[in-house]
A = this chain, B = another copy of it.
Amino acid sequence: MAEGRVEDIYDRVKQMAVTYRLRPGDRLNEVALSRELGVSRTPLREALNRLVAEKMFDFQPGTGFFCRQLDAQTVFDLYELRDITEIAAARLACARATDAQLAALKDELYATGITVDGLTVAEACARDEAFHIGIARLSGNAVLVAQLERINERIRYVRWVSLSMGQIRKSKDEHIRVIEALIARDADTAVAVLGDHISKRMDEVIDVVRQGISTIYMNTIDDLSEMVLLEENA
């Protein structure tokens, strides 16, 4: 394997944090976690320090690492920043992407299916993210893409909750309208649809957060991520 060991631990722990298998606010026991992962504390701590830098964990000297608590304000800030970043990315993509690139994105969108029925929440979320990242990539700005990916990681769990509450239906429709607008080089329309799309999500999420994030943590992540989206009944 060309991948480093720390990298591997980093991915696994991040996955645990993103999916809230590690519960927010909890201090994590290095010895126990290192044993669970089958490594020693040294590389584990190195991986944890990377996650601290990414704001995925808090670190309190003398006490240890804490799975990060997402408060309502931070969730809002993250969504707002995501909004800003994606809209800017769409404008850049509209100006810079080739027709072929846009066509490829459209094809991919259709290829992954128009409906989300039968998908798990995790799958649906991943596809949604992939489309948005796809647009960002067409901006030609790799730093922007990396940043958007990190933002997405931090709010992924919240998005799962949001999706599982059933507000995903119209997503694909809106995605298609966005890509069509980009192909027509109509940046204003693309941005308008995208902005509307995102702020609808934001509203939903605010509701979720208002209901109290704490209650959400009661659900195990398995319940949530593996939950299959039901067919529309209307």
Q: Which of A6, A49, A52, A88 has the most CB of B within 10 A?
A: A49
In the complex the two chains form, is A77's CB within 8 Å of B47's CB? no
Determine the residue in chain B with the shortest Cβ distance to A6: B49
Bound complex: CA A54 to CA B53 (Å): 7
User: How many residues belonging to A are interface residues under a CB distance threshold of 8 Å?
Assistant: 36
Segment at the interface with B among A115-123, A138-146, A199-207: A138-146
A37 at the B interface (CB under 8 A): no
Q: Is A38 an interface residue (CB 8 A)?
A: no
Contacts of A46 in B (CB 8 A): 45-46, 49
- List the one stretch of A78-86, A124-132, A160-168 in contact with chain B: A78-86
A81 to B143 Cα, complex, angstroms: 8
- Other-chain contact of A49, B2, B50, B147 (Cβ < 8 Å): B50
**A62 contacts the other chain (Cβ, under 8 Å)?**
yes
Contact B147 A59 (CB under 8 A): no
For window 15-38 of A, CB contacts with B under 8 Å fall at none
A and B contact pairs by CB, cutoff 8 A, 5 listed: A6-B49, A50-B52, A80-B141, A84-B84, A88-B88
